[in-house]
């Protein structure tokens, strides 16, 4: 998030694209989750980036974040789904960010066993 707006960010190139629909824009192709409206074309860009990155020999591949959109087949799906479900067929270590309250849904959706992955619990200290 930059200045209160959500972006998709390619850390390998430094490129970023505004994901949220600006109230002044006349964006037609949007996807909505909760109070947020996102541009489908930016998700398409993100899926292409993930697809290309999954074929490279990076040490890490980071998907930030998986949530309700992906669980219903939108957002970064189906590319993110393929990468996560087949995580052990990649040379890269796959790091996936998701909210703690979605943990059981995450494992169910991706048909993963919690013993097959490592957990990192991140704390937002800005709330303290």
- Tell me whether residue 56 is in a domain: yes
The residue segments making up the domain with residue 70 are 7-127
- Tell me whether residue 70 is in a domain: yes
pLDDT digits (tens, 9 = 90+) for 93-118: 999 999 989 999 999 999 998 888 88
- Tell me whether residue 2 is in a domain: no
pTM summary value? 0.86
- Tell me whether residue 1 is in a domain: no
pLDDT digits (tens, 9 = 90+) for 23-55: 777 767 999 898 889 999 999 999 999 999 999
* Residue 19 neighbours by CB under 8 Å, 6+ apart: 5, 6, 7, 8, 38, 39, 42, 43
Domain count, the chain: 1
- 52 in helix, strand or coil? helix
- Tell me whether residue 120 is in a domain: yes
- 87 in helix, strand or coil? helix
- Tell me whether residue 80 is in a domain: yes
CA distance 41 to 27: 10
- Tell me whether residue 42 is in a domain: yes
- Tell me whether residue 78 is in a domain: yes
């Amino acid at each position: 998030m930059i200045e209160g707006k959500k972006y998709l960010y390619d850390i390998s190139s430094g490129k970023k694209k505004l994901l949220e629909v600006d109230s002044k824009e006349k964006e037609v192709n949007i996807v909505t989750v909760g109070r947020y409206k996102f541009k489908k074309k930016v998700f398409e860009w993100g899926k292409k980036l993930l697809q290309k990155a999954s074929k490279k020999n990076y040490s890490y591949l980071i998907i930030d974040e998986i949530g309700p959109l992906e669980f219903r087949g939108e957002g970064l799906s189906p590319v993110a789904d393929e990468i996560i479900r087949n995580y052990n067929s990649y040379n890269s270590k796959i790091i996936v960010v998701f909210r703690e309250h979605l943990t059981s849904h995450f494992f169910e959706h991706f048909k993963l066993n919690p013993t097959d992955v490592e957990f990192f619990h991140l704390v937002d200290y800005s709330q303290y």
